[in-house]
Structure 1
Amino acid sequence: MEKLSLDGEWLFKSDSDSEWLPALVPGDVHMDLLRNKKIDDPLYGTNAEKCRWIEEKIWMYKKIFNIDKNFIHKRVELVFNGLDLDGEIFLNGIKIGEHHNAFIPYSIDITGIIREGENELLVYLDVGKRRVKDKPLTKYGVGEDYYRIWMRKPQFVFGWDWGPYLPTCGIWRSVELNSYESFAIRDVYIRPTILGNKARLEIDVEMENITSEPFELDLSLSLKGDGEYGFGERFTLNPGINKKNYSLEVENPRLWFPQPLGEPYLYSFKATISDKAKELDSYKCNYGIREVKLIQEPMDEGESFIFSINGKEVFCKGADWVPADSLIANVSREKYKKLVELARSCNFNIFRVWGGGIYEDPYFYELCDRNGIMVWQDFMFACAPYPDDDSEFMEEVARETATIIKELRNHSSLVLWCGNNENQWIHYMGAWGGRDTRLYGTKIYDELLPGLVKELDPTRPYWPSSPYGGEDPNSELCGDRHAWQLSLQIDDPYERINYRLYSLDKGKFISEFGQLAPPLKRSLEEFTPEKELYLDSPTWKFHNNTAERGNIKAALERFFIPQEDLSLDEYLISGQMIQAEALKFALEHWKNRMFKTAGELFWMYSDCWGTTGGWTVVDYYLRKKPSYYYVRKAYEPVHISFKERDTYLDVIVTNEIYSPLTLDVEYGVRSFDGAVLLKGKGKLDLSDAGPVRVGEIDVSKVPGTYKNRSFVYAKLYYRGRCISLNRTFLVNFKELEIPAVKIVPVLSLIRDGEYQLKLWSNSFAWFVSIDCPDNVELSDNYFDIFPGEEYAVTLRAPGGIELGDISISSLNETVIRHHRV
């Protein structure tokens, strides 16, 4: 098989324009219009509001390309890997097809139409609204703004609480020509079974003989890694589709594990068909051998919901993944790589790919395979009823589902298929006619999807929705849970932001919860005109989360300093601190319940544009918010934390790994100036995963005069090295009497491009921030320095850095300005 990419330079115009303009494929109409200076950046300021005219147009994309006669074989296929949304395709003046699904590739047999020499490919596209404008909506219990339910494209582009209304349109994934001499490998499916010290791989190979005659060919399968395994045979390939099944046995296989259970080991797999040593077609992938199970068994407070990989229970830590750009074609491989690597560095071991976005690029799943990050994969249905009584719609969904399952099922990172996002729960709460009426879409989630998963990928569990479980789909007793009673559901904003109420939640697997925060100043300046750099400016409001509803203001008033008393810079860092503390508190609560609660995923990981009130820990510009560092610590494989019990703070160590560990523990209470008020020590032998209570602190023994002038700490040591450190306070932040602090920095060169910054503080330094140029990578940030102690941070600065390039500050300064002791 020969392949020819048609990516790169194209021409485009609207149906009402005469001038063809340069375009890039893969891409999007907005991106092409921006490059041609026909629109302003839709993600800047309020410019997205000025882009609505784009969705009213039909867009034409044209490619003139030349074909060598030696490229044209028995069959030539044109493959669009992503058309958004309604497309008509013409080649050399002949209509060759139309397509209405942005999620899956469209392959067209163009044998006899493509020709030697010059060819013209013309694609007509629109966002999809024209085709569905007369489709029924009221029968499904929704209004006219829900036309998206008929459109198989990312649902979030029609506006979500965290993203703008910006309907996408374009040839958003690669275009290619595939030319086959006579034979093609159409599909390969690898199914693992682990049998003691062996693994058996059942391998289904689907091949096509394009000719009208049977042929004898050679098929070879190879698996390379620690050792090499293979199989080969000569067989007859009959005209049409041929399916063959083979089995490979691997001795003492190296298994794929998610973080931190082990190495995400990948073998190199290849299937080849050839004739007389001439390769005709092949399939390649990196493949991890592993088995996944979802354990749902009775327990003392309901039913468990635990993922098991290769027989080991996994405590799941991660976040919900949404598309990394409002313009889905704009996400580069470099951005995917950076985001996944940042997640791994943050101790993630799972993403939930949310059902209102896209089936991500294959490269995303490859990165998750490589980095030991599991994937909970939603099918693309979110927060709406869907027309499951329409046969044409259901046929399209069936085609989409089968295509996606086949495309993703060889990725070891993928551990669960999920029917949708929140549809059953929203219906249960009274939407779309309420729980006493039929929910349109259940034929998809209860029949079509599980049927196809069982047929095409029986190795993975299927789950009907998220959340789901029990009579109440969002039950604390079973299934997975979206813990939105805080941040969203409570009417009183003062209570809605009381993150300490997370300590009451006993959900078995938390797949959504979140805390809003303002942006980093440097990122705010990226999308906001200079004259609008103030709270509630037009751009601020336009980029704010529609669910914010005064949450950040209420949180500041309840826990710290009223918003109206703060400068813009103080507001930003103070709101970020509260998000960091809230996520830390909630994550440590659920982790201390391991495995009664067996997973904690926060909403959400990264943004699709710049926001003034966002859920994320990594923003659109790939900058890490303070909450990123707090989450990273809470997600440590071996972690020390606190649990309130009457007048005591229990000191808890949570262990996610199964290796024996001997640890030393130190904990106590110290004043901000360094005086030791209480202190305890101990030794701990860990042999299994789970939480262990290692000590207690009787806070009633702390003198009253010290309650607001002290901090509680705990340290965990392995072979003399501190591997986990934690801190909490005995009063609310706004009651703290934080002293002035002197931080002494010393910068030294470790090796070329790598530096160590040592910071010493004379008293307790709270939420210490290191501000550097964007090209400098910090090993840590937004941390505390205990009185009289030193804290070391590694800086990676390929171009070099000096102490004058670094700004160091702490929240002590903000407290002193507003609550002078």
Structure 2
Amino acid sequence: MMRKTGLLWVLLLVSLYGANAQHLRELADEWKCAPAREVKEEGTVLSVSSYNISNWLTAVVPGTVLTTQLLHGQIPDPFYGMNNLRIPDIYATGREYYTYWFARNIEQEYPVDGQQVWLQFRGVNYGCDVYFNGSKLNKETHKGMFLRQEYNITSLMRKDGHNRLAVIVYPPDEPGNANGGQGGDGTIAKNVTHQYVAGWDWIQPVRDRNTGIWDKVFIKTTGAAQIRNPHVVTRVPGVRLPEGTQAPAKVQVSAEVYNPTEKVLDGTLQYELNSRKVSARVSLAPGETKLVQLPDYTMEQPRLWWPNTYGSQPLYTMPLQFVVAGKGVSDMDTITFGVREIQHAWNTTTQSMEIRVNGQKIFIKGGNWIVSDAMLRFSRKRYDAEVRYHRDMNLNLIRIWGGALTERPEFYEACDRYGMLVMQDFWGSGDCNGRWVDPLKKEDQWARRKYPDNHSLFIQSAADQIRMLRNYTSLAIWCGGNEITLPEDIHQALKDSLMPLLDGTRWFVDYSNSDSMSYNHIGGNGDGPYGIQDITTFWRDQTWPFNSEVGSVGVGDYASLQRFLPEANLVAPQYKGKRASVVDSVWDYHKYISYEGAIDVYGKPANVADFARKAQLVNYNQYRGLIEGFTAHEWEWYSGVIIWKTQNPWTAMRGQMYDYYLDPNACLFGLRSAGEPLHIMMNPVDSMVMVTNNTFTARRDLMLVAKLFDKNGKETFVTQVFSEAPAHRSKPYFSLSEALKKAAYTEGVFVSLQLLDVNKQLISDNLYWLPGIDGQYTALQQMPAAKPEIICQETEKGKVRIVIRNPSGGPVAFFNRLSLVNAKTKKRILPAFYSDNYVSVLPGAEKKITIDYHPEGEEIALLAEGWNYTETYHTITHEK
């Protein structure tokens, strides 16, 4: 045990620090690249500024070989049609084909007065050698997609300020055969890298396996000493509520301070928070790194951070400085954090773990996430939009799936802002790492169980990523791997050494569907079901009590399909019965899964646009039913559910609430409805009306209203009652079964459920459309046209208010899709954030919708189209 601990300490000493510093600049743009096979010179020559690289290609950094090739038109867009098949795959070409040189000039003032200059790489895939001003910086080839690099380049800086950086990047050692298996033939997992790039059942392979300088590169300038690995922990004792005066909380701060010089340095590590300064004196011997624990700070009346729908997400900013005596500030890290404490406890009723925040149990409504973009084209703006969509779905957790990445700081910053807890898997999957027999895998389970080849590199990379992410408020759970434990020595290192030493504040679960997370009492793998379901399944059939993966369909509408399907392939699937469908080859390539008979009950699709329109009805119902079914049994059967999946990093046709282009479909709004903190709903099994209260406070004097409407808009009042809604649970109130029998709805009927407060303010509005006794939605197909009045105003730049009024005496204005568009091109503005969509308005009622978007100077209009409302464009006026 002592020898193992010693090894871990050696690995941990390869320490890096965060990217918010006093003098920091990103080396974006101005990069050049060339295939290594076309470059004869060595790196010591290429990295001299006199060597001419003007004829090299402009490179995308952060980026990959493919993103650069795409920029220059050397490959077609792999997300469109069958284009991906036209791109050479690394398994056929060999690794040399995608081995590239990346270089750029760096204009940087020569360091003076003891300044230190540091070169940082936040991620290179997979191996690299780094040269600067004619010298090689790494003695051995750096390997590992997730292991950051840092080099002190002070002594190599040129006095004239003209510097040159050159990096040769090598693909993964084992790129794997993309043979159609999950992770291809599995050998991609021999590397410490992401696995989906060899293909999965929701993506085609990424041909270069994302070789490149895929994450940010920085130059950092400090004084004589450097801050490394700051760590902020907040302690919130007791059981708290979001409202009212708060009892004190504790803030605990530590950091390493490094002295790279040959002199003794005396100084102070300090920060200021709420106008109070906390500090500690530090003396550093030459070359010494010292871990400094600052005194605990007691914060009076803290503003607490809560998960989405449970409270607000205030954040504090802390400038952490190291001041060298007589020299001033040597280094500074600015840390943004929220005050909260995350715990977990075994729920003996559900037989699963429950997550607690600030002492309160949180019912988890989560989504599984792969990456923002399959080719790693990340941006702060895109991260913000995607996480905001998850906030808008009324979810409160995002799980980062183990075949992908440890997500980037910009992702976590967005989760901190929007109140999304994060479950972060490490890099392993049951498919590649040997859980199951798989004839598509190159090696047997015994060999795959030992992946990756370099366990020390995995442990070192994990330690580094823990340090990088541990200060983010949203990070709630660390997970060993997807559907399998990691090899025993890696597992033990994570669980028994790295987590206690480097974090110690979060739950570490062995693997994503472990019995330690959710007792598997019904057999199987602990995940699913996947694909289209009878809605009653979610309500009636008990599944795993903390289900880490359960999901369904997710085809976008016609506008979405047109973005990546050639016109010739815009052909609707035809369902033939018994789960058989005729599907276009491009749909199949983009991983379409069957809607089975769920479309045809709305009437056989007339064309692909009609298919996509009817698919949205199914999408809405599937995901509304999923969340309603789980919350109906919260804290009875379940402590949480995580949907598989909520987004796609490429143009797949399944499991997505918005498409790759950030265009939401009806799945998102079905989830938004079902995930309301206070939500009224109907059990489709017995027609019981229920209210779920996902807040910490019981609500009284709530009015429950139930009505029926036929296809012509004729209203049948059922009942309305005042009642209460207990905190942390769902409660049944009355059944509509008798009312539905009396209505004798042979063709179908609308069920309107509303929840109002004592001031008649609407809290929850839920409309179900039920089929006729033959299971067909005949009433929907026979609805007369609605004639809603739609008023559109831009209240301020980037904000639009929509009012939809449906006159009395007509039918329900059913399932209206609103789209903010460019007034000239009629193309949708993406991303745009709707307070609601696919909205239905009862006769004599109105609904107000707000739209947020990022204005780009274009003239905008509104496109409204409904089930029984003709597509119409509306002018947007400006509020005076």
**Paired position in structure 1 for 2:84:** 48
Amino acid at match of 1:734: Q
In structure 2, distance between residues paired with 1:446 and 1:43? 40
In structure 1, distance between residues paired with 2:118 and 2:860? 57
Offset of 1:339 from its aligned partner?
1.2
**Paired position in structure 2 for 1:452:** 498
Amino acid at match of 1:406: R
TM-score by length of 1: 0.87
> Is 1:176 the counterpart of 2:214 in the alignment?
no
1:307-327 CA distance string (max 9 Å, x none): 110111111223111111111
Equivalent residues of 1:481, 1:509 under 8 A apart: no
Matches within 5 A, 1:385-784: 385=433, 393-423=454-484, 441-469=487-515, 475-476=520-521, 483-487=527-531, 497-503=533-539, 504-535=541-572, 536-545=583-592, 548=593, 551-557=594-600, 559-562=601-604, 565-596=605-636, 597-611=638-652, 613-644=653-684, 648-661=686-699, 662-677=701-716, 679-686=718-725, 688-699=727-738, 702-703=741-742, 705-718=744-757, 719-731=759-771, 734-738=776-780, 739-750=782-793, 752=795, 754-760=800-806, 762-773=810-821, 774-775=828-829, 778-784=834-840
Cα gap change, 1:713/1:446 in structure 2, threshold over 3 Å: closer, same or farther? farther
Offset of 1:626 from its aligned partner?
1.0
- The alignment partner of 1:145 has SS state of coil
Offset of 1:735 from its aligned partner?
4.3
Amino acid at match of 1:93: G
- The alignment partner of 1:703 has SS state of helix
- The alignment partner of 1:574 has SS state of helix
Cα gap change, 1:72/1:635 in structure 2, threshold over 3 Å: closer, same or farther? farther
Amino acid at match of 2:345: I
Offset of 1:251 from its aligned partner?
2.0
In structure 1, distance between residues paired with 2:493 and 2:328? 45
5+ residue gaps in structure 1?
A: 135-140, 425-439, 488-495, 815-821
Offset of 1:788 from its aligned partner?
4.5
Cα gap change, 1:244/1:575 in structure 2, threshold over 3 Å: closer, same or farther? same
In structure 1, distance between residues paired with 2:662 and 2:672? 16
Match of 2:298 among 249, 254, 257: 249
In structure 2, distance between residues paired with 1:811 and 1:17? 61
**Paired position in structure 1 for 2:122:** 81
Identify which range, 155-164 or 694-703, moves more after superposition: 694-703
Amino acid at match of 2:193: K
**Paired position in structure 1 for 2:373:** 325
**Paired position in structure 1 for 2:158:** 115
Amino acid at match of 2:866: S
1:349-398 CA distance string (max 9 Å, x none): 11111111112220111111122111111112123217675896111111
**Paired position in structure 1 for 2:865:** 808
Equivalent residues of 1:765, 1:812 under 8 A apart: yes
- The alignment partner of 2:415 has SS state of helix
**Paired position in structure 1 for 2:44:** none
In structure 2, distance between residues paired with 1:291 and 1:109? 37
Amino acid at match of 1:475: N
Amino acid at match of 2:712: D
Higher-helix-fraction structure: 1
Equivalent residues of 1:303, 1:477 under 8 A apart: no
In structure 1, distance between residues paired with 2:752 and 2:642? 26
- The alignment partner of 2:111 has SS state of helix
Offset of 1:99 from its aligned partner?
1.8
Cα gap change, 1:133/1:528 in structure 2, threshold over 3 Å: closer, same or farther? closer
1:491-548 CA distance string (max 9 Å, x none): xxxxx64343222024322221111132222222222233332244443332224xx2
- The alignment partner of 1:740 has SS state of coil
Cα gap change, 1:481/1:766 in structure 2, threshold over 3 Å: closer, same or farther? farther
- The alignment partner of 2:751 has SS state of strand
**Paired position in structure 1 for 2:392:** 345
5+ residue gaps in structure 2?
A: 1-21, 40-54, 239-246, 435-447, 573-582, 822-827, 872-880
Cα gap change, 1:361/1:625 in structure 2, threshold over 3 Å: closer, same or farther? same
1:457-501 CA distance string (max 9 Å, x none): 11111101111117x9872579x98542342xxxxxxxx643432
Identity score, percent: 23
Amino acid at match of 2:709: R
Equivalent residues of 1:388, 1:394 under 8 A apart: no
In structure 1, distance between residues paired with 2:227 and 2:868? 61
Amino acid at match of 2:863: I
Cα gap change, 1:737/1:5 in structure 2, threshold over 3 Å: closer, same or farther? closer
Amino acid at match of 2:501: E
Match of 1:208 among 245, 250, 258: 258
Instruction: Please report the RMSD computed on the Cα atoms of aligned residues, expressed in angstroms.
Output: 3.1
Cα gap change, 1:749/1:121 in structure 2, threshold over 3 Å: closer, same or farther? closer
- The alignment partner of 1:702 has SS state of helix
**Paired position in structure 1 for 2:62:** 26
**Paired position in structure 2 for 1:435:** none
- The alignment partner of 1:590 has SS state of helix
In structure 2, distance between residues paired with 1:192 and 1:533? 53
In structure 1, distance between residues paired with 2:202 and 2:673? 26
1:672-696 CA distance string (max 9 Å, x none): 3344445111112345221122322
Cα gap change, 1:801/1:630 in structure 2, threshold over 3 Å: closer, same or farther? farther
Offset of 1:728 from its aligned partner?
2.8
Match of 2:407 among 356, 360, 367: 360
Offset of 1:344 from its aligned partner?
1.7
1:243-300 CA distance string (max 9 Å, x none): 121221112322211122222222222221113371101121111121111121322x
Cα gap change, 1:477/1:291 in structure 2, threshold over 3 Å: closer, same or farther? farther
